[in-house]
Amino acid sequence: MSRADTFRLARHVVSVAVAAVFIYASISKIQEPDKFATQLRYYKLFPLWSLHLLALTIPWWELIAGFAVLIPALRKGASIVLFLLSFAFFVSVSQALARGLSIECGCFGTESGKIGWAVLALDVSLLMATVFLLRGKRRGEQGAHEPSPATA
């Protein structure tokens, strides 16, 4: 297996893993936006007027970008959206930990545990994964529509 093939396989595996996390995370929040709004309130980070708007939109961004990251033509844009969401989650959890808040993370809706180092590690892992997906093609890697130098 060439380096390009290995990179392509790794990118596929990472995109499936990232998609699975974000799609799974979105489902219960879409089903119960009121509970997600309550979890957002506990962070004491957002103005009260914004909580329902955030609770209604964030899960849909997670779901749509989660599916989009699986489509090669949409992967870069979806990875940017997922990076920004992961960064926002990282900042939210970090500030809550720094302030000593003992709250549920809200990461996976009602199935979420308390915030802590494990949640922060998940956020960092998602940040790293989305950066990896943003890297694009490696030198020498050919897309499906590009002829290889040998056949051109």
List, for the chain, all residue ranges whose pLDDT scores fall below the cut of 50. 140-141, 144-152
* Structural domain count, the chain: 1
pLDDT at 106: 85
The answer to whether position 145 is within a domain reads no
The answer to whether position 140 is within a domain reads no
Enumerate residues 6+ apart whose C-beta is below 8 A from 147.
none
pLDDT at 109: 73
Contact 58, 22 (CB under 8 A): no
Specify the residue for token string 């779901």: 63
pTM summary value: 0.85
Q: Which two tokens stand for residue 2?
A: 């060439």
Q: Residue 121's domain spans which residues?
A: 3-133
Enumerate residues 6+ apart whose C-beta is below 8 A from 100.
none
pLDDT at 138: 52
